[in-house]
Amino acid sequence: MRWRGAIGSLEIRDRRKRTGPFLVSLGAAGLALGVVGLLNVHGQGLLAALLGCHLINTMLLMGITRWWKISIHCASAAGALGTLVFLHTQVPGTLLGTAGWGRLILSVGAVLVPLLLWARVRSRAHTAAQATAGTVLGLVAPYAELYAVLSLVGLS
C-alpha cells in the first residue's frame, strides 16, 4: 500500500485509511483459523481461541477507528501482554506457568508496554487518551475473552 501511494507511512496516521490493512488482518486470521480447524495438534483449542480473540479485537479496533484514532500499536503490545498474563495465570503446563520464566517474561512486558505508550504520545502519533485506550483495550479484551472461552468450553 505504501509503494502504491495509498498510505503515507507504515503507521497509517490517517485513521480513515486503516480499513484496508484491517481487512487483510481479518482475512489472514480467518484463513489461519480455518487451517487450525483442519489440524489435529496439541493446543488446537487454545490456538483457535487466540485467533478468535484476534478476529474479535481487530473488529473492535476497526469499529473504534471509524470514529476515533485509537492506538493500534499500544493495543497490540498490551494485547500480547494480556494474553501472556492469561497463560501465566490460567493455563498450567506452559513455560509461562513456571514461576521464574513466567515472571521474567511478564516483567519485561510490564516495562515495554508503558514505554510504548510513552513513545506513541511523545512522537505525537497519538494523544495520551488514544494511547491509553489502546493499552487498556489490549490488556483487558484478550484476557476476558480467553477467560470466557475457558469457562464455557475449556481449552485443549
Per-position pLDDT tens, the chain of length 156: 556 666 555 566 666 777 788 788 889 989 998 898 898 888 888 889 999 999 999 999 999 998 999 999 999 999 999 998 898 888 777 776 667 877 888 899 999 999 999 999 999 999 999 999 999 999 999 999 999 988 887 664
Q: pTM for the complete prediction?
A: 0.81
CA atoms within a 13 Å half-sphere pointing along the CA-CB vector of 52: 17
Please name which of 136, 26, 139 lies closest in space to residue 79, comparing C-alpha atoms.
139
Distance CA(67)–CA(19), nearest Å, equals 12
Cβ distance 121 to 127 under 8 Å?
A: yes
